[in-house]
Structure 1
Amino acid sequence: MPTHAERRVLRYTPEQLFALVADVRRYPEFLPWCVGARVISQTEEKLVADLTIGFKLFRETFRSEVQLERPHDIHVQYMNGPFRYLNNHWKFVPHPHGTQVEFFVDFEFRSRLLQAVIGTVFNEAVRLMVRAFERRAMQLYGRPSAQPSPVPAA
Structure 2
Amino acid sequence: MREFKTRRRVRHSAADMFALVADVERYPEFVPLCESLKVRDRKQEGDTETVIASMTVAYKVFRETFTSRVTLDRPNLRILVEYIDGPFKRMANRWTFHAIDESTCEVEFYLGYELRSRTLQMVVGGVFDAAFSRFAQAFERRADAVYGRGGRSAVAGAGQAGFRREGN
Q: Give yes or no for the alignment of 1:92 onto 2:97.
A: yes
SS of the residue corresponding to residue 150 of structure 1 reads coil
**Counterpart for residue 131 of structure 2:** 125
Task: Report the Cα distance in structure 2 between the residues aligned to 1:40 and 1:98, rounded to whole angstroms.
Answer: 33
How far apart in 2 are the matches of 1:84 and 1:124? 19
How many residues are aligned here? 153
Equivalence for 2:122: 116
Whole-Å Cα distance in 2 between the matches of residues 62 and 85 of structure 1? 11
**1:124, 1:148 → 2: CA distance?**
22
Change in Cα spacing, 1:135 to 1:148, as seen in structure 2 (3 Å) is farther
Is contact 1:11–1:148 with CA below 8 Å preserved after alignment? no
Asked whether the 8 Å contact 1:2–1:122 carries over to 2, the reply is no
Residue in structure 2 matched with residue 2 of structure 1 by the alignment: 2
Instruction: Give 1:114 shift.
Output: 1.7
Of 93-102 and 80-89, more deviation after overlay is shown by 93-102
Q: Distance in 2 between matches of 1:123 and 1:16?
A: 27
Provide the C-alpha distance between the structure 2 equivalents of 1:85 and 1:23, rounded to a whole number of angstroms.
23
Deviation at 1:122, TM superposition (A): 4.3
Structure 1 runs, 4 residues or longer, greater than 6 Å off: none
* 8 Å contact from structure 1 (residues 60, 82) kept in 2: yes
Aligned CA RMSD, in angstroms, stands at 2.0
Residue 65 (structure 1) aligns with: 69
Task: Report if the CA contact (8 A) 2:67-2:83 is conserved.
Answer: yes
Mean alpha-carbon deviation: is it higher for 12-21 or for 124-133? 124-133
CA distance in 2, matches of 1:89, 1:141: 23
2: distance between equivalents of 1:13 and 1:129? 18
Instruction: Quote the residue 1:29 is aligned against.
Output: 29
Partner of 1:136: 142
Cα distance, 1:119 vs structure 2: 3.0
* TM-score, structure 1 normalization: 0.90
Q: TM-score, normalised by structure 2?
A: 0.83
The unaligned stretches of length 5 or more in structure 2 are: none
Q: Unpaired segments of 5 or more residues in structure 1?
A: none
CA distance in 2, matches of 1:29, 1:122: 18
- Residues 75-105 of structure 1: per-residue CA shift (max 9 Å, x gap): 0011101111001000001114711100000
Deviation at 1:43, TM superposition (A): 2.7
Take 1:140 and 1:64, find their aligned partners in 2: how far apart are those partners?
25
More helix by share: 1
